[in-house]
Amino acid sequence: MLLFCPMCSNLLLVEHSSTCLRLSCSTCPYISRIKKRISERVYPKLKEVDHVMGGAEAWKNVDSTDAVCPACAHNRAYFMQMQIRSADEPMTTFYKCCNQTCGHNWRD
């Protein structure tokens, strides 16, 4: 498909006519009907994102404590502490429910 006028080499403009879409030149009388679709949609492939806390490997060999899960009310949870703010702020405690069917994560 031509995007430039074959007579004067100017860029062709898309315009609506009463029957169809067409390409027209703004400087000369050249007009051409559009017979096929010019554009197509291409979606970018998203990058794989790593888990911020290390995924399932980070929860291996962690201690458990008495904590009630907000999702299933199980009374035991794994925990780990991480410094996610500045050094003068307290550490953040992350919990994961010990119930195998729940596995809910939350923080305190």
Could you list the residues known to form a binding site, using ranges. Answer: 5, 8, 25, 28, 69, 72, 97, 102
Tell me how far apart the alpha carbons of residues 25 and 90 are, in angstroms, rounded to a whole number: 68
Which ranges of 1-108 does DSSP label H, i.e. alpha helix?
Answer: none
Q: Are 93 and 108 in contact (CB under 8 A)?
A: yes
Amino acid at 45: K
Dig out the tokens for 41 from the structure. 């949609």
Concatenate the DSSP letters of all residues of 27-51 into one string.
SS--EEE--S------PPPPPPPPP
Amino acid at 33: R
State the binding site for Zn(2+): 5, 8, 25, 28, 69, 72, 97, 102
